[in-house]
Structure 1
């Protein structure tokens, strides 16, 4: 049973929850999308308990309360953005550009593709521009990967990424219902991308930026983690020359975080202040032989 789950978990999770959300919007019940997100979080935690990639990552390391605060704050910011979206679209959109005649699922795929490009490029820039990195470092400070880590971001960086992904869509006149579905799809994708489920992807690892691929991005060994920036798809990493995957190295406790910041603050408020204070960097840990 566990072998079957390892192969079907990621595609069923992605298609199941996004498909459920599509059905709710088509049934004119978008207010129930919150239930879809709660159910996705619950399934994510149950699956991580049943089939963990690294059992130690399931244990609270003094970070669970902080990660929940990050998730609540950032999802609240997303909700606020969705509330003002119709106003922004009315003011800024080029009339008639968005393909409203397309089926809803096709509109969602188009929105995912465009948002993914913007968010990925902002993510890439956040590893190249010092001011952006100081904000993004909060996300990279995690010592373990599990579903909630995807929502653990400095709120200022969250807004920058959201702007990079949504601005082109606003100019194109994205409908509110498609934007609601996109927000849910991003949340589902983040749960999968940072999941602690021991999933198997096969050829899908060349397409989707799910956990087995994204874990390499969180390595603490200096520039070794400057790979796999994509949110939804690996296409952008192939174009940027930053795609990486290895069968020969398994992530474990101690591989993650920021190597030059082993003392990165753990508490929520301290993490909010961290980008604006002077820090002392330590020597980077050496790259494991199997990764060289």
Structure 2
């Protein structure tokens, strides 16, 4: 099985991605959580167009992608697990968890550094959340993320199969936790003990900065609890909260592809979410 995954990387990744995309899209239609405020057709057209553009740019600049780079590191004996003897299952597990933690730190960095926030604002300016939001990122953020990722792969000496599985898990979980799916609270409460759920991540897309600066995880839920950035629920509730960036809620440019690409380069920096202070101690809620 592992040999097949390595030899059929692109086929395997595309199959899993589109399977999860279709499943979450269907689930949103059958069990929607919130009413959408923007035309779904318009958002899907532009978000998916941005996703396709990112794929072309990424493959053009990094033709080997992360898995190909991992294979090169293995041939050159670069990185921790290419230098030490360890069972494959252990190296795969350690590398997947480590890469997930690195992506968590990267995400938090993109919120804290103003220049990086300009890029990440493209993701947060989405006025609704659904499965397409999980793939809505500026091309420069995607490229910077790849640089960080391959640096981590080189340091870890991550096995090729670990990198492929991590990429599949990361993209699949991004589709899942950005989806507009209503999951029963009793189930959500248990699932979010391990992984990030749609209700947990939705808090991160609030217009309020005290909520936007929480729940940075895309996959494992442990990081936000470990580093005290976990917030269980939005103060205004999932049906009353507002998604996006307050200054751009009426900005029509952030819907269209050309506006998304231009957003980081506008004269004025894309505004951060409102920096108001919470009136409730939501962090203590399970």
1:62-73 matches, within 5 Å, as 62-73=42-53
Q: CA RMSD in A?
A: 3.2
> Which residue in the other structure is 2:66 paired with?
82
> Which residue in the other structure is 2:88 paired with?
102
Question: How far off is 1:134 after superposition?
Answer: 0.5
C-alpha offsets along residues 221-257 of structure 1, whole Å, 9 cap, x if unaligned? Answer: 2333110011212222123221110287532476101
2:78–2:155 contact (8 Å) kept in structure 1:
yes
Distance change >3 Å, CA 48–CA 24, structure 1 → 2:
farther
Aligned mates of 1:187, 1:74 — CA distance in 2: 13
Q: Unaligned regions of 5+ residues in structure 2, if any?
A: none
Q: Unaligned regions of 5+ residues in structure 1, if any?
A: 1-20
Q: 2:36 aligns with which of 46, 53, 56?
A: 56
Any idea what SS the aligned residue of 2:192 has?
Answer: helix
Aligned mates of 1:35, 1:130 — CA distance in 2: 36
Aligned mates of 1:43, 1:98 — CA distance in 2: 40
1:57–1:196 contact (8 Å) kept in structure 2:
no
> Which residue in the other structure is 2:214 paired with?
227
> Which residue in the other structure is 1:93 paired with?
78
Is 1:128 aligned with 2:112? yes
Distance change >3 Å, CA 197–CA 59, structure 1 → 2:
farther
Any idea what SS the aligned residue of 1:201 has?
Answer: helix
> Which residue in the other structure is 1:10 paired with?
none
Is 1:32 aligned with 2:17? no
Structure 1 length normalisation: TM-score?
0.78
1:98–1:173 contact (8 Å) kept in structure 2:
no
C-alpha offsets along residues 45-94 of structure 1, whole Å, 9 cap, x if unaligned? Answer: 11111111114379516211111012223344268323641335545723
Aligned mates of 2:22, 2:67 — CA distance in 1: 26
Aligned mates of 2:221, 2:21 — CA distance in 1: 24
> Which residue in the other structure is 2:255 paired with?
266
1:217–1:229 contact (8 Å) kept in structure 2:
yes
Number of equivalenced pairs:
269
> Which residue in the other structure is 1:8 paired with?
none
Aligned mates of 1:176, 1:282 — CA distance in 2: 38
2:203–2:214 contact (8 Å) kept in structure 1:
yes
C-alpha offsets along residues 207-228 of structure 1, whole Å, 9 cap, x if unaligned? Answer: 3122111000000123331100
> Which residue in the other structure is 2:24 paired with?
44
Aligned mates of 2:53, 2:38 — CA distance in 1: 23
> Which residue in the other structure is 1:205 paired with?
192
Any idea what SS the aligned residue of 1:56 has?
Answer: coil
Question: How far off is 1:282 after superposition?
Answer: 10
Question: How far off is 1:23 after superposition?
Answer: 9.3
Structure 2 length normalisation: TM-score?
0.80
